[in-house]
Amino acid sequence: MKHTSVAIEGVSPLPYAETVARAKQALAAEGFGVLTEIDFAAKMKEKLGADLPPYVILGACHPPSALKAFLAVPEVGVLLPCNVCVSVEGGETVVRAMDPSPVMGLIGNPDLAPVGAEVRAALTRVIEACEKGA
């Protein structure tokens, strides 16, 4: 697992479709619901004729954390939901989740720091579950 400036990412030993299913299971186990599912590769093919490797964006929401953040700063809605992406890159199945800690920090309200940390920990566990596979 590695952390970038905006994401938590890992590599799954499972094929793409199985990793998407595993990510959804892991999100549910952490209390997230998947609000949206965007087949990015299919949309780019449809709209631009681009042939891309498989890539899906799952818009995941953790309702208790989203409510806490919203009540503190309604502006936080522009940062919701937390996106989790599964893709095929260089022959590997990659899983990434938005890291909410630095993103929440952009708003500059200290009340959001504990929410960002809580969601970051949960999304880290999601990525770890995907890295383990089955």
Residue 100 has which token pair? 């909410």
Q: Read off φ and ψ for residue 28, nearest 5 degrees.
A: -60, -40
Q: How many structural domains comprise the chain?
A: 1
CATH number for 77: 3.30.310.70
Per-residue model confidence (pLDDT) at position 103 = 82
Instruction: Express each pLDDT in 83-114 by its tens digit.
Output: 999 999 999 999 999 999 888 888 889 989 99
pTM: 0.94
Full residue range of the structural domain in which residue 50 is found: 2-132
Query: Which of the four pLDDT bands, split at 50, 70 and 90, describes residue 33?
Result: very high
Question: Is 35's pLDDT higher than 90?
Answer: yes
How high is the mean pLDDT of the chain? 95
Peptide bond into 102 cis (omega under 30): no
Residue-by-residue DSSP string for 59-119:
EEE-HHHHHHHHHH-GGGGGG-SEEEEEEEETTEEEEEEE-HHHHHHTTT-GGGHHHHHHH
Point out the least confidently predicted range of 9-13, 77-81, 102-106.
102-106
